[in-house]
Structure 1
Amino acid sequence: MYTPPFNRTDDEAELRGLVAGVRVGWLVTSRAGEAPAASFLPLVWHADTVVAHLAKANPHWREIEDDSPALLIVTGPDAYVSPSWYAAKAEHGKVVPTWNYSAVHLTGTARVHHEPAWLRSAVTSLTDEHEAPRDQPWQVDDAPDPFIEGQLRGIVGIELTVTGVEGKAKLSQNRSVADREGVVEGLRADGRSGDLAVAEAMAASLHGVSED
Structure 2
Amino acid sequence: MFREERLDVLHDLITAHPLATLITAGGDGLIANLIPFTLHVGREHGILRAHLARRNKQLDALREGAEALVVFQGPECYVTPSWYPSKAENGKVVPTWNFAMVQVRGRPQVFDDVTWVREQIDEMTNNHERHREHPWTVSDAPEDFIAAQLKAIVGIEIPISSIEGKWKVSQNRMPVDRQGVIDGLRAEQVCPSMLAAMEG
What's the TM-score once normalised by structure 2's chain length? 0.93
CA displacement 1:96-120 (0-9 Å, x = unmatched): 0000000011111112221111111
2:177 corresponds to: 179
1:155 corresponds to 2:171: no
1:198 corresponds to: 194
User: 5+ residue gaps in structure 1?
Assistant: 1-5, 205-212
**In the alignment, residue 108 of structure 1 is paired with which amino acid?**
G
Question: Identity of paired residues, percent?
Answer: 39
Contact 1:184 1:200 in 2 (8 A): no
User: 5+ residue gaps in structure 2?
Assistant: none
Aligned-pair RMSD on alpha carbons? 1.4
Counterpart CA distance in 1 for 2:103 and 2:61 is 21
1:10 corresponds to: 5
Within the candidate set 151, 163, 166, 1:165 is matched to: 163
Counterpart CA distance in 2 for 1:121 and 1:62 is 23
More helix by share: 1
1:36 corresponds to 2:34: no
Moved more, 130-139 or 98-107: 130-139
Equivalence map 1:1-212=2 (5 Å) = 6-31=1-26, 34-47=28-41, 48-192=46-190, 195-204=191-200
Contact 1:128 1:139 in 2 (8 A): yes
Q: Note the C-alpha offset of 1:168.
A: 1.0
Counterpart CA distance in 1 for 2:112 and 2:186 is 47
The number of residue pairs the alignment matches comes to 196
Q: Note the C-alpha offset of 1:161.
A: 1.0
Counterpart CA distance in 2 for 1:15 and 1:147 is 36
Counterpart CA distance in 1 for 2:114 and 2:166 is 37
1:3 corresponds to: none
